[in-house]
Structures are given as C-alpha cells and as structure tokens.
Amino acid sequence: TGGHATPSPSPSQSSPAPAPEPPQSAPPSRPPTHPPRPRPTPTPPAPAPSPYQINELTWDLVGDGTKPEVRMADSSWLWQRQGLRVGGKKYRHGVTVHAPSSVTIDLHRQCTAYDAYAGVDDLGLGLGVLRFSVYADGQRLWRSGVMRGGRPAVPVHVPLTGHKTVRLVVEPASPNTVMFLGDWAQSQITCK
C-alpha cells in the first residue's frame, strides 16, 4: 500500500490532562423571612478600684471635680512627699503636716476606704507626741493612741462607702508638743 504508517505514541509523551471543571457556585440563598435576633452585648466587668494617693491629689481650685481633691479653704499646710520615714522605716509616699492640723478632702465619687500608716516623722529627731484621727462627713471613724517620735507608725483603715468627705486631723497629745511633724504615710483613698 502507498499509505504512511501512523506513529504510535512514545512512552515519554502523555495525553494532556483534562482541564479541571470550574467550581460551581452555591445557589443564592433566600433572604430570611425574619431578621436575625440581635445578640445581647455582654456587660463589661466592673473596673478595678482605683487608689488615689494623697500626695498626688490636686487642690480644689485647680481640680475638675471628678476625683478626690484637697479642699484648700478648710485645710492646713500639707507637704505632699515622696519618701518619708517614721520610726526608722522608709515609706514610698505620703503627706506630712504640722500639729495641730486638719486636712479636708472632697471625694467627688463613690469611694470605699482610706488607708495609711500614721506616725511622727523622723525629721523631729525622736521628739513629738501626737494623736491622729480620721473623720468622714464630720463623724470621727478612727483615732490613734498617743504616738511618740521614734516609734513605728500604726496602720489606718477607714471604710468610706456612702461618705462624701474625709478629714485628716493631727493634734498634739501633750501641751509641750508644738509644730512637730505628723505623717500619713502610704496615704491613699480607694474609689470605684
């Protein structure tokens, strides 16, 4: 015959792979007959109580009335300090006052407690006999015994829930004690 033979495919040649079928898109969904119910927004946890250090409080003439402030018109001299010593122990912060002294703080929010360590400042070289008191809305809630220079400070914890003001009072416990320094060390108010 005069025809040419058809070549057979060699093992190295392969037939082309079939093209993949395009993915089929899902049929469009019908809109729901009722709108979905909104999920309730979870209530965020209550913020942790905020302590306000007395040595960092502003005075009412420059404050904004949203946090505790020292009432200037009804307060004695107040030294807001970093680092003070009572009975040889150093405290990171606090306030120092002359005796007699009265410092009024307007809370301006819901507060739960006043905490401090009360004692005679070591700058008095072991001299001074003082008594410390904490008032809330005019009612005395705490009073120390007689505190002497060179002795350790005593812890102070006064609940403040429901109160609007705190007044810190230091008085001489002896007629011969004049102008000695009393410390409210680590002094702070905890508020919601």
Per residue of the chain (192 residues), what is the pLDDT tens digit? Answer: 555 555 555 544 555 555 556 556 555 566 556 666 767 666 655 555 679 999 999 998 877 888 999 999 889 999 999 999 999 999 999 999 998 999 999 999 999 999 999 999 999 887 889 999 999 999 999 999 999 999 999 999 999 999 999 999 999 987 765 678 999 999 999 998
Residues facing 158 on adjacent strands: 114
Is 107 a member of any domain?
A: yes
Of the candidates 101, 10, 107, 6, which has an alpha carbon nearest to the alpha carbon of residue 50? 107
Check: CB of residue 120 under 8 Å from CB of residue 152.
Answer: no
Q: Is the dihedral of CA 92, 106, 70, 147 positive or negative?
A: negative
Is 7 a member of any domain?
A: no
For the full predicted model, state whether its pTM sits above 0.85: no
Is 13 a member of any domain?
A: no
The tokens describing 68, both together, are 């505790």
d(CA 45, CA 47): 6
Domain that holds residue 132: 50-191
How many distinct structural domains can be found in the chain? 1
Is 22 a member of any domain?
A: no
Identify the CATH number of the domain in which residue 176 sits: 2.60.120.1060
Is 15 a member of any domain?
A: no
